[in-house]
Amino acid sequence: MHEHDVLVVGAGGAGLRAAIAAHEEGADVAMVTKLHPVRSHTGAAEGGINAALHPEDSWELHAYDTMKGSDYLGDAPAVETFAQDAPDEVIQLEHWGMPFSREEDGTVSQRPFGGLSHPRTTYAGAETGHHLLHTMYEQVVKRGITVYEEQQVLDLAVTDHDDVEDRECHGVVAYDIASGEIQGYRATNGVILATGGPGQVFDHTTNAVANTGDGYAMAYRAGVPLEDMEFVQFHPTTLPSTGVLISEGVRGEGGILYNDEEERLMFEYGYANNDGELASRDVVSRAELTEVNEGRGIEDEYVHLDMRHLGEERILDRLENILHLAEDFEGVDGLDEPMPVKPGQHYQMGGVECDENGHTCIDGLYAAGETACVSLHGANRLGGNALPELLVFGARAGKHAAGGDMKEAEISTGPSAKSEAGDLSEEVEIGAVDAGNRSVAADGAAIDAGTVVDAEVQRQEERVDRLLEDEGVNHAQVREDIQQTMTANVNVFRREDNLVEALDDIREARERYQHVAASDPSRTYNTDLMHTMETRNIIDIAEAIAVGALAREEFRGAHWREQYQERRDEEWLKHTMLAWNDGNPELYYKPVLLEAEKEYEPKERSY
């Protein structure tokens, strides 16, 4: 049994920032991570970090853009905290030696990004995330923070009180990938979930293979509601064959989208007459797919993104990484020809419900980064807002978990924040998600803080033994079926019959999952077993997304519904919550907070 004040699960951007912040508060902090920290998917982020650094810019403008971009589903206290803290976080990174791109006078460069009223995206070439990840890991090494690497966290050790708000998190249980051992980790102060996104729920995604949303699923099964899961961002420029991301920086620098008639589609078909290629990501993704669906796509699949006119010098200075990606993964020379692009799953706006200090409704349990839903991005995230999010809220979660002095949160969480019960017009048997719940944290484990970690260790040992010893279904086919049905039915365009079909497929996958087993019997580096356990998480998250999408009968941000072609503020200005109560998920809503220091009046989003 390992014991620390604060445990951070996941060592990408949010986890590293949280660990540094907790360490600065004087806590004994350790990170438990499925990968080595520098393998985290934050390293694949390309575009940049938004922060109002310029004297003519302001946090108020950044907050306003973020609220507008969110289609008024962001909570104002989260959005304002974010915009206020972001500049300090960027300067902090700069002081840690992050190799930002520079202006002639040596200051940090900023460039325009979609949906921003001022060029406030700081960047390091088109590999900003790589530099951010490595710079922060350097700081973790400098501080001597303990990192338990290649440890797959299987579940949280949470007490079993009936009321979720009485539950406490005392640690986690992890599977040592190299040795196959199950290990308990006790946290005396708090556990911070920073496990990244769940892109593997879809089969065309920019996300890494490791991004199976483990944190979402573990928090959900322990009783924390998942918030606004129907809002999935599809990035408009991913390479068709692999899903590799082509940064929004290309459009920020002036890249142009063409259809197969060689028309500048964003203008010629009127998708965004004001902002063209730099309209919000949801707008551009729909525009591209509409072109393809109406027969103006190239090879009936994609459109072209052209950056040749920017000139070799500028491309090499600011977008060099894009040239390598297009060359290596699509065989296209971006200096000489346009790049093929299509929308791909990129980011989950929703996530584990928490307040602006990262705290969830379970005592001692925090979430940060993409795993969390504060909520900052609402119905649509602006490009360049993910990296400052993981800095700002990673730091706050770390500080709070370490017992730092913080202002009380304005965002309320948990069942007591509930405003109304949800209602699904379509019958989906919401209670049916219970199958295969033998690893639910809160099912009679313990109330006694002293034994809760041990009890969970024992439960996970039994689970792993069973998966290794039994004969059963291979996870790979179950996972693939989920990914395919999600891409076919819960993609950019959503229709009721498709959503119901996806839910049926997910239920069927859940049935089959009850009979899975790893066919590799080894205790040494058993990736078959790892992926089998991840698939469980993928099923739970896919279901939360599909249920949320079916329930929300309106068109807002990234969520498009065929039957409902407008934003319906009177009915739907509220967060979709899905809570797992002893295997009986409950759909409910909570109000959006549109007022903090400033008040944000919902307006029509126009580009």
Partner 1 sequence: MSTQIEQEQTEEQTEAETAEPAEQSPQERRLSEKKARAEAREREEQAREEVRDADDTVQIKVFRYDPEVEGKSEPRFDDFSVPFFKGMTVLDALIYARDHYDSSLTFRHSCRQAVCGSDALFVNGQQRLGCKTQMADLEGPVRIEPLPHQDVVKDLVVDMEHFYEQMEAVEPYFQPDELPEGEREEQRQSPENREKVKMSTRCIWCGACMSSCNIAAGDNEYLGPAAINKAYRFAMDEREGEIQKEDRLEIIEQEHGVWRCQTQFSCTEVCPKDIPLTEHIQELKREAVKSNLKFW
Q: Which is nearer to partner 1, 98 or 187 (CB)?
A: 98
**Using the rule CB under 8 A, is 43 a contact of partner 1?**
yes
Q: Which of residues 287-306 bind partner 1 (CB under 8 A)?
A: 306
Task: Single out the residue of 96, 493, 564, 607 in contact with partner 1 (rule: CB under 8 A).
Answer: 96
Give the range of 184-192, 483-491, 497-505, 515-523 binding partner 1 by CB under 8 A. Answer: 515-523
- Rounded Cα distance between 529 and 536, Å, is 11
Task: Single out the residue of 456, 528, 534, 554 in contact with partner 1 (rule: CB under 8 A).
Answer: 528
Q: Which of 17, 111, 186, 281 is catalytic?
A: 281
Q: Which is nearer to partner 1, 480 or 595 (CB)?
A: 480
| C-alpha separations of 314 from 116, 158, 320, 590 in Å | 22, 52, 9, 47
Indicate the pairing of strand 586-591 with strand 574-579. antiparallel
Q: In which residue are the tokens 């599809």 written?
A: 234
**Using the rule CB under 8 A, is 471 a contact of partner 1?**
no
Q: Which of residues 134-163 bind partner 1 (CB under 8 A)?
A: 134-135, 138-139, 141-142
**Using the rule CB under 8 A, is 324 a contact of partner 1?**
yes
Q: Which two tokens stand for residue 506?
A: 């997910």
Burial code (b: 16+ CB inside 10 Å, e: under 16) for 11-44 equals: bbbbbbbbbbbbbebebebbbbbbbebbbbbbbb
**Using the rule CB under 8 A, is 97 a contact of partner 1?**
yes
Query: Under a CB-based contact definition with an 8 Å cutoff, are residues 236 and 226 in contact?
Result: no
CB of 117 to partner 1, least distance (A): 20
Which three-class secondary structure state does DSSP give residue 194? coil
Q: Which two tokens stand for residue 358?
A: 């990262």
Q: Which two tokens stand for residue 466?
A: 């069973």
**Using the rule CB under 8 A, is 101 a contact of partner 1?**
yes
Strand order in the sheet with 110-111: 49-50, 121-122, 110-111
Q: Is there a catalytic annotation at residue 523?
A: no
Q: Which is nearer to partner 1, 334 or 364 (CB)?
A: 334
Q: Which of residues 202-241 bind partner 1 (CB under 8 A)?
A: 208-210, 241
Asked whether the CA dihedral 602, 233, 245, 218 is positive or negative, the reply is: positive
Asked whether the CA dihedral 31, 32, 36, 42 is positive or negative, the reply is: negative
Helix residue ranges per DSSP H, 212-306 = 214-222, 249-252, 265-268, 281-293
Q: Which is nearer to partner 1, 446 or 518 (CB)?
A: 518
CB of 141 to partner 1, least distance (A): 6
CB of 418 to partner 1, least distance (A): 38
468 sits in which H/E element = helix 452-469
Task: Single out the residue of 2, 4, 17, 41 in contact with partner 1 (rule: CB under 8 A).
Answer: 41
Q: Which is nearer to partner 1, 163 or 520 (CB)?
A: 520
Q: Which is nearer to partner 1, 412 or 519 (CB)?
A: 519
Task: Single out the residue of 11, 83, 272, 325 in contact with partner 1 (rule: CB under 8 A).
Answer: 325
CB of 107 to partner 1, least distance (A): 6
Q: Which of residues 167-186 bind partner 1 (CB under 8 A)?
A: 178
**Using the rule CB under 8 A, is 432 a contact of partner 1?**
no
Q: Which of residues 48-67 bind partner 1 (CB under 8 A)?
A: 53
**Using the rule CB under 8 A, is 104 a contact of partner 1?**
yes
Q: Which of residues 371-430 bind partner 1 (CB under 8 A)?
A: none
- Rounded Cα distance between 156 and 398, Å, is 18
- Rounded Cα distance between 256 and 602, Å, is 30
**Rg, C-alpha atoms of the chain:** 23
Task: Single out the residue of 215, 252, 338, 394 in contact with partner 1 (rule: CB under 8 A).
Answer: 338
Which residues are known to be catalytic? Answer: 281
